[in-house]
């Protein structure tokens, strides 16, 4: 599903964000990505959805060599990768329905398919009754649910979540985690970066710990392992 072979990422200022990363993530896995701020977690994920490309090494996602991907192939690859951000990144002038539908319009899905699929996904995340609300009319947890619906509406094989509970209260965070577990159960591979040790320690999944751009720990059912 996702394979990194001796991946290095060096930015133009000379800083090494990733150093010799080797990792294999199988289909249907749920993986936590943990480590201090600035360790390289965000770069790790940006490589997967091709916002960044490796400086050195080979990265395969769903059979595609990301580093050698032709420009015209990028949109096709991204159709199979959903992304969730800590700050939601919803379009403020669009309703919940329109925000989710937009992700399907971008890939030119037929209108009749959009009309059927969007309500289905909003129901899955518990927001079918609020599909006509603007983001400003929704709570933070509800906005994140819309963001999740948008990320999964095209049935991605991989879901990348960058601190999806970072701006949420504890109760809402657990609700979002239950939702992510359900999405994973339905067959989507999830890679989630987090600083929330309570979530990692309670919902045990594979843990990949990164420090200074290198993997220092990779455990099938590990704990958070950091005090902060």
For 137-153, write each residue's pLDDT tens digit: 999 999 999 999 999 99
| Cα 49 to Cα 61, 159, 203, 219, distances in angstroms | 9, 9, 25, 24
CB of 137 within 8 A of CB of 93? no
> In Å, what is the CA distance from 10 to each residue of 18, 39, 122, 203, 213?
7, 13, 39, 33, 10
The answer on pLDDT for 75 being more than 60 is yes
Vertex 52: Cα angle to 46 and 56 (nearest 5): 115
CATH topology of domain 26-53+70-219: Rossmann fold (3.40.50)
Angle, CA of 71, 77 and 81, to the nearest 5°: 135
What are the pLDDT digits (tens) for 149-183?
999 999 999 999 999 999 899 999 999 999 999 99
Tell me the domain boundaries of the chain. Answer: 26-53+70-219
Q: Are 9 and 47 in contact (CB under 8 A)?
A: yes
Sign of CA dihedral 147, 148, 151, 153: negative
Report the distance separating Cα 64 and Cα 67, nearest Å. 9
Q: Band of the pLDDT at 78, cuts 50, 70, 90?
A: confident
Distance CA(111)–CA(104), nearest Å, equals 9
**pLDDT value of residue 226:** 79
| DSSP code, position 136 | G
Partners of residue 218 on adjacent β-strands = 208
Entry pTM: 0.93
CB within 8 Å of 112: residues ≥ 6 apart: none
Structure tokens that stand for 78 in this block: 């991204």
How far is Cα 88 from Cα 168, in angstroms, rounded to an integer? 11
Per DSSP, the three-state class of 54 is coil
Kindly give, in sequence order, each residue whose CB lies less than 8 Å from that of residue 163, ignoring residues fewer than 6 positions away: 85, 86, 193, 194, 195
Q: For 89-101, what is each residue's pLDDT tens digit?
A: 999 999 999 999 9
């Amino acid at each position: 599903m996702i394979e990194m072979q001796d991946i290095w990422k060096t930015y133009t200022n000379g800083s090494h964000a990733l150093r010799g990363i080797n990792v294999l993530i199988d289909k249907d896995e749920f993986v936590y990505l943990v480590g201090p701020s600035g360790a390289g977690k965000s770069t790790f994920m940006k490589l997967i959805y091709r916002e960044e490309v490796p400086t050195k090494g080979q990265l395969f996602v769903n059979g595609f060599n990301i580093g050698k991907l032709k420009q015209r192939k990028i949109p096709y690859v991204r159709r199979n990768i959903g992304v969730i951000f800590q700050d939601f990144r919803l379009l403020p002038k669009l309703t919940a329905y329109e925000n989710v539908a937009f992700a399907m319009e971008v890939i030119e899905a037929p209108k009749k398919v959009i009309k059927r699929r969007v309500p289905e996904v909003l129901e899955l995340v518990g927001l079918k009754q609020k599909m006509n609300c603007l983001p400003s009319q929704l709570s933070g947890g509800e906005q994140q649910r819309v963001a999740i619906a948008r990320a999964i509406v095209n049935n991605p094989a991989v879901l990348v979540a960058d601190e999806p509970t970072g701006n949420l209260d504890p109760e809402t965070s657990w609700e979002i985690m239950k939702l992510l577990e359900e999405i994973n159960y339905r067959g989507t591979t999830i890679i989630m970066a987090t600083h929330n040790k309570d979530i990692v320690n309670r919902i045990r999944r594979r843990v990949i710990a990164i420090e200074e751009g290198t993997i220092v720990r990779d455990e099938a059912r590990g704990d958070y392992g950091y005090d902060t």
